[in-house]
Amino acid sequence: MTVPTAERITAPATRLAGPRIDAWAKVTGQALYADDIRWPNLAYGVLLRSPHAHARIVSMDLEPARRMPGVLAVLAGPGSVAPYGIMPSTQDEHALAVNKVVHVGEPVAAIAAETREAAAAAARAAAVQYAVIKPVLRPGPGKGQVEPVHPEHPQGNLFKQVDLEFGEVEAAFFDSWVREDSFFYQGNNHGAMEPHAAVAYWTPDGQVEIVTSTQTPHYVQRELSRALGIPAYKIRVRASVVGGGFGGKSEAFGHEVAAVLLSRACGRPVKITLTREEVFYTHRGRHPVSMRVRTAWNPAGELQAMDFRSELDGGAYSSYGIATTYYTGALQPVTYRIPAYRFHGERWYTTKPPCGPKRGHGTTQPRALVEIHLDRVARALGLDPLELRRRNLTPPHSITVNQLEVTTSGLAECLDAVEAMSDWRARRLQPEPNRGLGVACSAYLSGAGLPIYWNPLPHSGVRMAVNRDGGVQVFCGLTDIGQGADTVLAVLTAHALGLDPARIRVHTADTGSTPVDLGSYSSRVTMMAGHAVLMAAERMAALVTEAVAARQGVALGEVRREQEGFWGADGVIAWEQAVQWAEAAHGPLTTFGGYTPPPPIGRYKGSGVGPSPTYSFSACVADVSVDPVTGQVAVHRLWVAHDLGQPLHPSLVEGQVRGGVVMGLGEALMEEQAFNPDGRHRGPHFLGYRMPTILDVPPIEVALVGEPDPRGPLGAKEVGQGPLNPVIPAVLNAISAAAGVDLSETPATPDRILRALKTQPQRRTI
Amino acid sequence: MSSTAWLRPRTAAEVTMALGLPGARILAGGTDLVPNRTWELDTGTTWVGIGAVPGTREVRCDAAGRWEVGAAVTLAEVLAHPQLGRHYPLWMEAMRAVATPEIRTQATVGGNLCVDTRCRFRNQPPIWRSGLIPCFKSGGDRCYAAPASRLCVAMLVSDSAPVLMAMGAEAAVAGPFARWIALADLYSGDGDRHLTLNPGEWVRAIRLPAKPPLGAFRKWRPRATMDFPEVDVAVSVDCDEEPRVVRIVVSAVGPVPVRATSAETLLESGPWTSERLAEAADRARAAVHPYDNGQLRVWGRQRAVHGLVLDALRQVASAVVEKGAQA
């Protein structure tokens, strides 16, 4: 079933529509992003950063900086009392570098002053001498004697190696038709409009208050606790209004630790706001990955086995690297049925800004190669690329070879939708010169099945209170990073309690006042906080309904709702009245809700990465022209179909789909975090790092398909990340069809296309 | 960041005087100077505005039918002008290709011609540059883009320069020895001091020919807007002369727009067959040697020259045929 967005959403949950609850604050400038925050007596911090990719710190003279006017505090490394990091098993970062620096822009000292300008001037006055070492720019064991990035790391520059095998892989390859392809997926940055910023205060009584632009206040609190060596309960982390995250604000950063330490040193609150250049050095963006895929096929065009290898260029620190490495192999069998599957992944340290999670975390790169590979297989087998995909879809309600549990799947409907919308057959039969269509599919998690650190506790908790004024307060640790998580919380509460959303006030992203929610990552918020808030609301509704039943002297089942209130013997009972009866009976009304995903069924090492309560599915068709003279790509139109189960809020859903599609388009065509041979970024600014402008974005047609998922809150699945993934290979496949040449790397910039046109024989037929 | 004085002299002579102050820079639209100051690339301490000087904000046509446009006229004003677009469609095309609508409302005709050269090894933010031994343009003794070069090879990124050169436009130089110069004579070939102007001299206006030649313009960049050129190509032909006057200008490949003279000679006489156009494009490509200091890779930029010149020549050829048919 394919239904355009607008029609679909009106039917089941009109109450959930309406503007986002933060819309007015954002469009009137009242919303406080982290850099907007001014606390009394605020001081400003600046980090002195390494200008070298790989160097030993020979000496550091900070006295000249201390003597500069307006300077309040100057600190040198390590800053943190213990190395910290988001993954408990790979904590390798300090707030400020000790002994050596391993990427350009690594912080080495922190300065607080009366103004930002004074702090920056002091940073320039500091004298740091470096002994430059040859940078490590490529993953792999390397040639010759080059000092490893982390000499104390036991495996040289190899951060992590992963090997998984399911089913009879060798046997399948022995007697099948086999094809192999390789691809390099370039790294890229999130490009969130708001740069990272934090305001921190070490109070005179030894408490830490920090407001920061983050996706994960809970994890920041944990990491700060470790880095500062103080108990977590003394640290209150609040997220500011966040101007985009996309994965780039999902862990604690040096500037957050440094802001706290500077505050302790000078006794005043300290704010640190990164420049755009510093954001590129803080990075944690998409890993550059070199990949190879080998597949075995039977004569019917059915996939028999896949052997996938990925080599990740991790940059200088671990970040989420273990998870990323596994993710480059985890979801291949969720999209397509693969009876036998082997995965080898390795991630290497290099002296570049650390990579981490970006929208699609680790699944975007392999998705690109697999989908490009499928097009080449289809060409070799003489099949329509859509038809080849249809023959191999992972069926709904099945268990994959790597023991992931798939519930509902609308992937077949996604393909039907993009085929119909794009008029696929007609266009392919009559191709225009230098113009082509490309298709790709994808699947994504609706929330990671396991938390970052092992624990049996709920992934999301909600505390709900109803006051005698009839208003509802919802407390949840979730973080709205622009995707509309606060709005979802409000509209689900309103829906479950049968109230006008105007009654709902949400309090989120504050470790000092809200129950834990793990954060805005892995497309988990609507799934998990959604379940938690529905549970809390159902309990609240029961309390109030019971009080009405008791007052009216009727059985519980006899109580009927009337608009926001209840039917009573003497007319309508207002919600406020019912609430007051309930409060009289129970005391202040408070309920709780929590959500823990179903336990994963896999029992092998590495099985923790990939499981999810349910998966979303997407498909994309791209229509592009390639100018053979200039190598420039014109994308005429993109059609995207997404299965997110039951959509909950039309404008938020549409925003996520379109935002993801545009981000994918940028990765396909222009964005690259690339480096010079000395380890300097090719362009750490928005002129050098190009993202699509509105003139580069074609019309995008969206269809939402699928059925409500039994595991989702009101049947909903994710939409935050999935729609990005198919866009990149769809565009690349379309370029291949249009230009008649195959690209072996992203992004498809005009220079790369010109080179491919020169070096490859051009295919004549599609 | 030190403080900067902003002077707004009222006469050309005062501008010249003000340019004698230490660290003086012309501030026109400021769309390049201000970002450069933010990144500490420009450390000028005196900004000299020219917009108050009579004539610098004027557009007028002289008795010979030549249009003169003041240096402080903004690009948006040029694009909105009721007459200029009709007379000089090629120039308009280049103007529209500059940056973004927001920048074009602020940026000026003179600023676009004189805009500082750019290089991927210099136009970078402060931390990036802090550990590098300075290059020529940063006051040092080396070039990272072309290690063997004894001069800075930073690129001229003006979109209007190649087009105005192809059109045969002139620039009015104000100063102690006011004069008109051919546009090609404005650029020195050294990316560090990219203009030939002497101390105290500045560009007051440009003058466009009464009968502009037919032409075509191509800007090669990754996005549909905003980006600086990675290669610019402007081609013009005047068939009223005998032999024809052909100008092929390739820009954004070095500190100065390059005339592909060998290609021009080929096309001055004889028929413009597709083989000869391709031969001319080959010669144009051979005439330029971009360094790897743009954002796109140098192999692509070199190769793009061929396609862009060929494409532009084809457009001009068909325009010539069309015009002949009309006449």
Q: What is the pLDDT of residues A506-539, one digit of tens each?
A: 999 999 999 999 999 999 999 999 999 999 999 9
Q: Does B127 touch chain A (CB under 8 A)?
A: yes
The pLDDT assigned to A12 comes to: 36
Indicate which of A277, A629, A746 best probes the interface with B, i.e. most B CBs within 10 Å of its own CB. A629
Q: What is the per-residue DSSP string for A46-67? A: EEEE-SSSSEEEEEEE-HHHHT
Shortest Cα distance from A752 to chain B (angstroms)? Answer: 7
B168 and B269 co-located in one domain = no
The answer to whether the CB of A729 falls within 8 A of the CB of A291 is no
The answer to whether the CB of A471 falls within 8 A of the CB of A490 is no
Among A631, A680, A684, select the one facing B300 at the smallest CB separation.
A631
Q: How far apart are CA B114 and CA B30, in angstroms?
A: 12
Q: What is the mean pLDDT of residues B5-32?
A: 95
Q: What percent of chain A has pLDDT over 90?
A: 93
Q: How far apart are CA A656 and CA A497, in angstroms?
A: 26
Q: Please indicate, yes or no, if residue B149 is contained in any of the structural domains.
A: no
Q: Please indicate, yes or no, if residue B35 is contained in any of the structural domains.
A: yes
Q: Kindly report the three-state secondary structure assignment for every residue of B144-165.
A: CCCCCCCCCCCECCCCHHHHHH
Q: Please indicate, yes or no, if residue B19 is contained in any of the structural domains.
A: yes
Q: Please indicate, yes or no, if residue B203 is contained in any of the structural domains.
A: yes
The pLDDT assigned to B23 comes to: 92
Kindly list the residues from chain B whose CB atom is less than 8 angstroms away from the CB atom of residue A277: 125-128
Question: Domain with B21 in it: what CATH number?
Answer: 3.30.465.10
Number of other residues whose CB lies within 10 A of the CB of residue A374:
27
Q: A443 has which bridge partners?
A: A617
Kindly list the residues from chain A whose CB atom is less than 8 angstroms away from the CB atom of residue B308: 629-630
Residues in chain B: 327
B221 and B272 co-located in one domain = yes
Residue of chain A nearest B305, judged by CA positions: A630
B193 and B250 co-located in one domain = no
Residue of chain A nearest B125, judged by CA positions: A277
Q: What is the pLDDT of residues A262-317, one digit of tens each?
A: 999 999 999 999 999 999 999 999 999 999 999 999 999 999 999 999 999 999 99
Confidence band of B1 (pLDDT split at 50, 70, 90): low
Q: Please indicate, yes or no, if residue B198 is contained in any of the structural domains.
A: yes
B196 and B300 co-located in one domain = no
Beta-carbon separation of A683 and B220 below 8 A: no
Q: Does B1 touch chain A (CB under 8 A)?
A: yes
Contacting residues for A298 by C-beta, under 8 A, at least 6 apart = A176, A177, A304
Kindly list the residues from chain A whose CB atom is less than 8 angstroms away from the CB atom of residue B125: 275-277, 684-685
Q: Does A234 touch chain B (CB under 8 A)?
A: no
Q: What is the pLDDT of residues B186-235, one digit of tens each?
A: 999 999 999 999 999 999 999 999 999 999 999 999 999 999 999 999 99
B219 and B317 co-located in one domain = yes
Beta-carbon separation of A629 and B308 below 8 A: yes
Q: Does B272 touch chain A (CB under 8 A)?
A: no
Q: A281 has which bridge partners?
A: none
Kindly list the residues from chain A whose CB atom is less than 8 angstroms away from the CB atom of residue B224: 693, 695-696
Kindly list the residues from chain A whose CB atom is less than 8 angstroms away from the CB atom of residue B128: 51, 104, 277, 680-681, 684
Q: Does A104 touch chain B (CB under 8 A)?
A: yes
Kindly list the residues from chain B whose CB atom is less than 8 angstroms away from the CB atom of residue A123: none
List, in order of start, the domains of chain A with CATH numbers: 457-595 (3.30.365.10)
Helix (H) or strand (E) holding A633: strand A633-643
The pLDDT assigned to B325 comes to: 62
B61 and B174 co-located in one domain = yes
Beta-carbon separation of B297 and A750 below 8 A: no
Beta-carbon separation of A752 and B223 below 8 A: no
Beta-carbon separation of A52 and B310 below 8 A: no
Among A277, A682, A758, select the one facing B295 at the smallest CB separation.
A682
Helix (H) or strand (E) holding B262: helix B261-268
Confidence band of A3 (pLDDT split at 50, 70, 90): very low
Domain count, chain B: 2
Q: Does the pLDDT at position A2 exceed 90?
A: no
Which B residues in the span 209-248 are in contact with A, Cβ-Cβ below 8 Å?
218, 220, 222-228
The pLDDT assigned to A17 comes to: 65
Q: Does B304 touch chain A (CB under 8 A)?
A: yes
Q: Does B132 touch chain A (CB under 8 A)?
A: yes
Q: Which of B163, B180, B208 is the last residue of a domain?
A: B208
Kindly list the residues from chain B whose CB atom is less than 8 angstroms away from the CB atom of residue A695: 223-225
B51 and B200 co-located in one domain = yes
Q: Please indicate, yes or no, if residue B85 is contained in any of the structural domains.
A: yes
Q: What is the pLDDT of residues A153-164, one digit of tens each?
A: 999 999 999 999
The answer to whether the CB of B171 falls within 8 A of the CB of B206 is yes
The pLDDT assigned to A146 comes to: 86
Beta-carbon separation of A683 and B225 below 8 A: no
The pLDDT assigned to B3 comes to: 82
B232 and B287 co-located in one domain = yes
Going by C-alpha positions, the residue among A355, A202, A336 that lies closest to residue A267 is A202
Q: What is the pLDDT of residues A744-756, one digit of tens each?
A: 999 999 999 999 9
B226 and B88 co-located in one domain = no
Q: Does the pLDDT at position A212 exceed 90?
A: yes
B105 and B14 co-located in one domain = yes
Beta-carbon separation of A684 and B124 below 8 A: yes
Q: Please indicate, yes or no, if residue B296 is contained in any of the structural domains.
A: yes
Q: Does the pLDDT at position A16 exceed 80?
A: no
Q: What is the pLDDT of residues A191-202, one digit of tens each?
A: 999 999 999 999
Q: Please indicate, yes or no, if residue B246 is contained in any of the structural domains.
A: yes
B196 and B276 co-located in one domain = no
Q: Which of B186, B208, B230 is the last residue of a domain?
A: B208
Domain boundaries, position B51? 5-118+154-208
Residue of chain B nearest A104, judged by CA positions: B128
Q: What is the pLDDT of residues A385-418, one digit of tens each?
A: 999 999 999 999 999 999 999 999 999 999 999 9
Question: Domain with B285 in it: what CATH number?
Answer: 3.30.390.50
Shortest Cα distance from A629 to chain B (angstroms)? Answer: 5
The pLDDT assigned to A77 comes to: 86
The pLDDT assigned to B276 comes to: 96
Contacting residues for A208 by C-beta, under 8 A, at least 6 apart = A200, A201, A202, A224, A228, A230, A234, A235, A236, A260
Q: What is the pLDDT of residues A716-763, one digit of tens each?
A: 999 999 999 999 999 999 999 999 999 999 999 999 999 999 998 888
Q: Which of B190, B208, B226 is the last residue of a domain?
A: B208
The mean pLDDT value of chain B amounts to: 95
Beta-carbon separation of A629 and B226 below 8 A: no
The pLDDT assigned to A113 comes to: 98
Q: What is the pLDDT of residues B245-262, one digit of tens each?
A: 999 999 999 999 999 999
Q: Does the pLDDT at position B324 exceed 90?
A: no
Q: Which pTM does this prediction carry?
A: 0.96
The pLDDT assigned to A11 comes to: 35
Q: What is the pLDDT of residues A458-512, one digit of tens each?
A: 999 999 999 999 999 999 999 999 999 999 999 999 999 999 989 999 999 999 9
Among A278, A630, A693, select the one facing B223 at the smallest CB separation.
A693
B204 and B232 co-located in one domain = no
